[in-house]
Amino acid sequence: MKQVVKNDVIVGEIDNWDDARGFGFIQILGQKQQVFLHISALANDSRRPQAGNRVQFHKVKDKQGKWHAEKAQLISGGRVKASRKMAPASSRFNVTIALSFVVGLAIAYLMQHIPLWLPLYFIIMSLVTFITYAWDKRAARKQRWRVSEFKLQLLSLIGGWPGALLAQQWLRHKSAKGRFKLILWLVIAINLATLYLVHSRI
């Protein structure tokens, strides 16, 4: 079977799809070549892809010489796409918790309850964590080396969790994975408990 082209639009079949990570690979019809597909390329499609679905797309080569799909659209199968956005109440809660914690540290310092290095430490770690989330999201889109979930959670554990909550809201990264979010909140609880125990003994 020859490659099917419609007005420079290529037609292929999704060979495999990782719904949790939001990416997979398209097998071009009649060829051995596979093309990387990220969920963001289906932004204008109301359905969620699955392995075996046919899809039409534009094939684009990145700076590393790897092919990926853009302006993709399912032409068979698929299921109703669950919203990747967090509920407004949940979004506000995450941002409120993160900002309230940082503001609380600043107030505690001004009242001379804690040393200056403590709020500075959490701010710096939050910034590092936020940047790491942004890097990982970009790597997912560019099909590059990813930051492991363990490292992301470790950054939160050692003080970067406010940045992680803000990244989930503003970058929409790791915001749709229930298991990851559950572990993150456990990590936050451990971090706060440790901070309280250490401060109560000083």
For residue 158, the 8-state DSSP code is: I
Condensed to tens digits (0 to 9), the pLDDT of residues 122-166 reads 999 999 999 999 998 888 777 678 889 999 999 999 999 999 999
* pLDDT over 70, % of the chain: 85
Return the closest-CA partner of residue 174 out of 139, 143, 198.
139
4-80 sits in which CATH class? mainly beta
Residue 58: count of CB within 10 angstroms of its CB: 14
DSSP state of 194: H
**Per-residue pLDDT reduced to its tens digit, 46-57:** 677 888 888 888
Indicate yes or no: pTM above 0.95.
no
Cα–Cα distance measured from residue 172 to residue 166, given in angstroms and rounded to the nearest whole number: 9
Residue 85 has pLDDT above 50, yes or no: no
Using alpha carbons, select from 29, 28, 20, 6 the residue that is nearest to residue 49: 20
Would you kindly state where each structural domain of the chain is located, as residue ranges?
4-80, 88-201
Three-class secondary structure assignment of 21-87: CCEEEEEECCCCCEEEEEHHHHCCCCEECCCCCEEEEEEEECCCCCEEEEEEEECCCCEECCCCCCC
On the question of pLDDT at 96 being above 80, the answer is yes
Q: Is 6 helix (H, G, I), strand (E, B) or coil?
A: strand
